Structure 1
Amino acid sequence: MKRHNIFAGAKRALKAMTLAGVLCTGALVVQPAMADVAQSGDVVKVRMGGDASQTRIVIELGKSVAGQVVTREGETSRQVIALPDIDLGDAMSGQGQGLVKDWRIDNVAGSTRLKLNFKSGAKIYRRFLLPPADGISVYRYVIDVVPQNTDISTPKVAPVPVIPTTVQSQTQLAATKMRTKKIVVIDAGHGGKDPGALGGNTYEKDVNLAAAKALRDALTRTGRYTVIMTRDTDSFVDLAARVRIARSADADLFISLHSDAGGNGDTSGASIYTLSDSGTERAARKALVKGDWSLADGASTDAMVNRILIDLTQRATKNRSATFAQLVMDNISESTPLLKTNLRQAGLFVLLAPDVPAVLLEMGFVNNAKDEAMLNDSRHRAIMMGQVAKAIDLYFANNVQYASFAGLN
Structure 2
Amino acid sequence: MFRRFDVSGYAKVILKAITLAGCVCGSTLVTQPALAAGSDVVKVRLGGDAAQTRIVIELEKSVAAKIVTRDSETDRQVIALPDIDLNKAMAGQGQGLVGDWKLENVAGSVRLKLNFKSGAKIYRRFLLPPADGISVYRYVIDIVPQGTEKSADAASQLLASVPVVTAAVQAPVQPVAPRNRKKIIVIDAGHGGKDPGAHGGKTWEKDVNLAAAKALRTALEKTGRYNVIMTRDTDSFVDLPARVRIARSANADLFISLHSDSGGDGNTRGASIYTLSDSGTERAAKKALIKGDWSQGEPPADAIVSRILIDLTQRATKNRSATFAQLVMDNIGDSTPLLKTNQRQAGFVVLLAPDVPAVLLEMGFVNNPQDEAMLNDSGHRAVMMGQVARAIDKYFDNSVQYASFAGLN
TM-score bracket relative to the smaller structure: 0.5 to 0.7
Which residue of structure 2 lines up, in the alignment, with residue 25 of structure 1? none
Larger Rg: 2
Q: SS state of the match for residue 360, structure 1?
A: strand
Which residue of structure 2 lines up, in the alignment, with residue 397 of structure 1? 397
CA distance in 2, matches of 1:280, 1:208: 26
Q: Deviations over 1:100-128 (max 9, x none)?
A: xxxxxxxxxxxxxxxxxxxxxxx766599
| Alignment gaps of 5+ in structure 2 | 1-17, 22-55, 83-98, 111-178, 404-409
- Report how far residue 11 of structure 1 moved: 10
Q: Which residues in structure 2 correspond to 1:296-375 (within 5 Å)?
A: 301-375=301-375
Q: Which residues in structure 2 correspond to 1:8-407 (within 5 Å)?
A: 72-74=72-74, 151=101, 153=103, 155-156=105-106, 180-291=181-292, 293-294=294-295, 301-400=301-400
- Tell me the TM-score normalised to structure 2 length: 0.58
The letter of the residue matching 1:235 is: S
CA distance in 2, matches of 1:292, 1:150: 31
**1:269 touches 1:371 (CA, 8 Å); kept in 2?**
yes
**2:258 touches 2:362 (CA, 8 Å); kept in 1?**
yes
CA distance in 1, matches of 2:108, 2:328: 37
**2:287 touches 2:293 (CA, 8 Å); kept in 1?**
no
Classify 1:340/1:241 alpha carbon distance in 2 versus 1 (closer, same or farther; 3 Å). same
CA distance in 2, matches of 1:252, 1:402: 9
CA distance in 2, matches of 1:184, 1:367: 29
The letter of the residue matching 1:397 is: D
Q: Deviations over 1:219-272 (max 9, x none)?
A: 001000000000000000000000000000000000000000001100000000
Classify 1:341/1:9 alpha carbon distance in 2 versus 1 (closer, same or farther; 3 Å). farther
CA distance in 1, matches of 2:387, 2:205: 21
Q: Deviations over 1:62-112 (max 9, x none)?
A: xxxxx9976613367xxxxxxxxxxxxxxxxxxxxxxxxxxxxxxxxxxxx
- Report how far residue 291 of structure 1 moved: 4.0
| Alignment gaps of 5+ in structure 1 | 1-5, 19-66, 77-122, 129-148, 161-177, 404-409
CA distance in 2, matches of 1:13, 1:291: 27
CA distance in 2, matches of 1:339, 1:398: 27
Which residue of structure 2 lines up, in the alignment, with residue 172 of structure 1? none
Report sequence identity in percent: 71
Classify 1:237/1:398 alpha carbon distance in 2 versus 1 (closer, same or farther; 3 Å). same
- The alignment of Structure 1 onto Structure 2 pairs a total of residues equal to 267
Q: SS state of the match for residue 283, structure 2?
A: helix
CA distance in 2, matches of 1:318, 1:401: 13
The letter of the residue matching 1:393 is: D
- Report how far residue 296 of structure 1 moved: 8.0
CA distance in 2, matches of 1:242, 1:303: 26
**1:13 touches 1:154 (CA, 8 Å); kept in 2?**
no
CA distance in 2, matches of 1:249, 1:179: 17
- Report how far residue 152 of structure 1 moved: 6.1
- Tell me the TM-score normalised to structure 1 length: 0.58
CA distance in 2, matches of 1:152, 1:291: 27
